[in-house]
Chain A
Amino acid sequence: MITKQAFAKNKTLLIVTSLIIVLFAIAVFAPVIIPYHHLQTDLDHLKEPPSASHWFGTDTVGRDILSRVIYGSRFSLLIGFSTTLLSLCLGLLVGLLAGYFGGKVDACFTVIIDLFLAFPSLLLAIGISVLLPPGLLSTIIALCLVGWASFARLFRGIVFSVRQSIFVDAAKSIGCSHGRILFSHILPHCIPLAVIAASLKVGGFILSESALSFLGLGVQPPLPTWGSMVSLSRSYLPSAPWMVFFPGGAIALTVFVFNLFGELLRDMFDPSIKV
């Protein structure tokens, strides 16, 4: 079980958690801590390699890459988190209904879940996001529609087994409504798992977001997302590799920290959980 004591004992987890807090602080305070404005061009300093005044160098129109990377963390974290939360809620709801009612309801939902899982996720996200005007909201919608199904499948299984517990029978026998049984008796049993499943998925969503914005389907330039920064600098790779290194490294580092967090949390709780 996850307890405060177990959490405090696990040093690696503590370090990773504090890293996540730092990442959040960077994203929240981005407008204050960036040394230059993220959109401010400077035609006297084009494609400059990293130096004391521009730690990560500058891009083709002289914008400070460090500032843009810091500012870009806002999009990655915002999209990563809201997508995880929304698709978790959707998946939880479908999983609860399918697992609790079983029978035809379950059969219907299972077909839909399997169908969404049958698509290669990025292809489906591309298919959905070309329909929407590119931007923050459509990225979130596309990733949600792709991501909810695996959550739903996970929770369907859990609810299926929790439903057979004696306390559910007890609740039924004293005349609780379906809604009450679902939300006050069964749902609390899903919460710890939901936390773990969500933390294992955040990294994947951030990665998918970066792929979409790399393909030009995410938040649009000149706003700095890490994916689009890599994409736009890729033709300058031989002459100005730092333009590619830093934004891509930021993605890798962030996703690594989140994945590590999810995995450590899972190992502490129950190593057999597969998401």
Chain B
Amino acid sequence: MKYYYVKRIFLAVPTLVGITCITFMLLHALPGDPVQGLVGERADPQVMQQIRKELGTDKSILGQYSGYVKLIIRGQLGRSYYTNRNVSEDLADKLPNTIRLACAAMVFSASLGLILGILMAMFQGSLWDRIGFFISTSGISIPVFWVGLLFIYVFSFRWQILPPSGMGDGSLLFLILPASTLGLSSAAYLARITRASMLEVLSQPYIKTAQAKGLKKSAVVLKHALKNTLIPVITLIGLDFGSYLNGSVLTETIFGWDGIGRYAVEGIFRRDYPVIMGCVLVGATLFVLVNLLVDLLYGFFDPRIRHTGQ
């Protein structure tokens, strides 16, 4: 049993190494000097000399790569061209905001997705099921940035009940619009998975037993079926964290949310390569770690997984 956890953790290592390989290649492919790519053109020559030595630009490509990895492990992601601030410090400042937004989005999408999915499964084949199908397909199809702008127009400009942007004093009011924008497509997706999972569970013999006992439909669904339905759904809620990282790039830009996503976009607009690459690196690492966590939790929730060792 412990073997499963240890194995899973070790499997994440090559992926993390691979991520540094890809960001390293991206940095190398950047126009201009990779050292400038790390510290910026306005960096002081002494610093550049030092980094050059640490990176070993005179060394072979492998030597350069190991230098790059050392820099990353020390938490040095270079300095922004524009503000000359340490990218790693900036990222550490902004990460909590992104995580707060992602958690809020997760709560929104999990509750909406579960409710919609359960309803669709309970009334399978009915008009409601079909309407739910169309709603969830449109949820997946609507561009995040457009939904965000529509929300701002309706709730902030028309009805003036919610703030259009910023984080304000950190109150929940400021979180509602960005979180529901970010969570919308994943809610649609979850609804679908919940429906499929619930239908599968509902076809099992133990549900027939519960029905034969004369239990009410709602009791069968909520008390007997829901727990087993949740197993694949919980995993997906976790895995959707990746889609939040994608979505946060757009959502944070629209709502002026001071997180990693907006930081990345500012980097893009200014062609601030250290910032962009730092965001890509941190985003991918975060994604891998969250997936790892979800896998471990999955093994915890579903003993079949950790015992077969799959």
* Beta-carbon contact of B153 and A123 below 8 Å: no
* Beta-carbon contact of A120 and B284 below 8 Å: yes
* With A119-B284, A126-B249, A215-B249 as contacts: A237 and B149 at CB distance below 8 Å: yes
List chain A residues, Cβ under 8 A from B249: 122-123, 126, 211, 215
Measured CB to CB, the closest approach of chain A to B187, in angstroms, equals 16
* With A118-B19, A244-B149 as contacts: A130 and B141 at CB distance below 8 Å: no
* Beta-carbon contact of B141 and A256 below 8 Å: yes
Judge if B15 is at the interface, Cβ distance under 8 Å: yes
In the complex, the chain B residue whose C-beta lies closest to that of A244 is B149
Judge if A43 is at the interface, Cβ distance under 8 Å: no
* Beta-carbon contact of B14 and A126 below 8 Å: no
Judge if B293 is at the interface, Cβ distance under 8 Å: no
Judge if B39 is at the interface, Cβ distance under 8 Å: no
In the complex, the chain A residue whose C-beta lies closest to that of B18 is A115
In the complex, the chain A residue whose C-beta lies closest to that of B157 is A238
Task: Report the Cα distance A259→B190, complex, angstroms.
Answer: 16
Task: Report the Cα distance A241→B156, complex, angstroms.
Answer: 13
Measured CB to CB, the closest approach of chain A to B184, in angstroms, equals 12
Task: Report the Cα distance A217→B242, complex, angstroms.
Answer: 21
Task: Report the Cα distance A19→B265, complex, angstroms.
Answer: 35
List chain A residues, Cβ under 8 A from B276: 126-127, 130
Judge if B145 is at the interface, Cβ distance under 8 Å: yes
Task: Report the Cα distance A244→B271, complex, angstroms.
Answer: 26
List chain B residues, Cβ under 8 A from A131: 26, 29-31
* Beta-carbon contact of A259 and B141 below 8 Å: yes
List chain B residues, Cβ under 8 A from A256: 137-138, 141-142
* Beta-carbon contact of B143 and A130 below 8 Å: no
* Beta-carbon contact of A251 and B280 below 8 Å: no
* Beta-carbon contact of B19 and A115 below 8 Å: yes
Tell me the A181-201 residues at the B interface (CB within 8 Å).
Answer: none
* Beta-carbon contact of B284 and A126 below 8 Å: no
Task: Report the Cα distance A119→B290, complex, angstroms.
Answer: 12
Judge if B269 is at the interface, Cβ distance under 8 Å: yes
Judge if A136 is at the interface, Cβ distance under 8 Å: no
Judge if A106 is at the interface, Cβ distance under 8 Å: no
Interface mask (A236-275 → B, CB under 8 Å = 1, otherwise 0): 0110010011001101100110111001000000000000
**Tally of B interface residues using CB under 8 Å:** 48
* Beta-carbon contact of B145 and A237 below 8 Å: no
* Beta-carbon contact of A130 and B273 below 8 Å: yes
Measured CB to CB, the closest approach of chain A to B61, in angstroms, equals 18
List chain B residues, Cβ under 8 A from A244: 146, 149, 153
In the complex, the chain B residue whose C-beta lies closest to that of A249 is B146
Tell me the A113-145 residues at the B interface (CB within 8 Å).
Answer: 114-115, 118-124, 126-128, 130-131
* Beta-carbon contact of A119 and B153 below 8 Å: no
Judge if A214 is at the interface, Cβ distance under 8 Å: yes
Measured CB to CB, the closest approach of chain B to A74, in angstroms, equals 18
Judge if B55 is at the interface, Cβ distance under 8 Å: no
* Beta-carbon contact of A120 and B242 below 8 Å: yes
Of the candidates A111, A121, A241, A259, which one forms a contact with B140 in the assembled complex, judged by CB atoms under 8 Å apart?
Answer: A259
Judge if A102 is at the interface, Cβ distance under 8 Å: no
* Beta-carbon contact of A118 and B143 below 8 Å: no
Mostly, the B contact residues are helix
In the complex, the chain B residue whose C-beta lies closest to that of A252 is B142
Judge if B35 is at the interface, Cβ distance under 8 Å: no
Measured CB to CB, the closest approach of chain A to B151, in angstroms, equals 11
Judge if B110 is at the interface, Cβ distance under 8 Å: no
Interface mask (B13-48 → A, CB under 8 Å = 1, otherwise 0): 011001101110010011100000000000000000
Task: Report the Cα distance A238→B157, complex, angstroms.
Answer: 6
* Beta-carbon contact of A126 and B143 below 8 Å: no
Judge if B105 is at the interface, Cβ distance under 8 Å: no
Judge if A207 is at the interface, Cβ distance under 8 Å: yes
* Beta-carbon contact of A215 and B265 below 8 Å: yes
Measured CB to CB, the closest approach of chain B to A113, in angstroms, equals 11
Of the candidates B140, B152, B157, B284, which one forms a contact with A123 in the assembled complex, judged by CB atoms under 8 Å apart?
Answer: B284
Judge if A50 is at the interface, Cβ distance under 8 Å: no
* Beta-carbon contact of B26 and A127 below 8 Å: yes
Judge if A87 is at the interface, Cβ distance under 8 Å: no
Tell me the B271-298 residues at the A interface (CB within 8 Å).
Answer: 271, 273, 276-277, 279-280, 283-284, 287-288, 291
List chain B residues, Cβ under 8 A from A150: none
List chain B residues, Cβ under 8 A from A227: 143, 145
- Please indicate which of the listed interface residues B29, B141, B242, B265 has the most CB atoms of chain A within 10 Å of its own CB: B141
User: Which residues of A come within 8 Å of B, CB atoms?
Assistant: 111, 114-115, 118-124, 126-128, 130-131, 203, 207, 210-211, 214-217, 227, 230-231, 234, 237-238, 241, 244-245, 248-249, 251-252, 255-256, 258-260, 263
Other CB < 8 Å A-B pairs besides A214-B250, A238-B157, A251-B143, 11 of them?
A111-B18, A118-B287, A119-B280, A124-B22, A124-B280, A127-B26, A131-B29, A215-B253, A241-B153, A255-B143, A256-B137
- Interchain residue pairs A-B with the least CB separation, the first 6: A248-B146, A122-B246, A256-B141, A115-B18, A255-B141, A120-B245
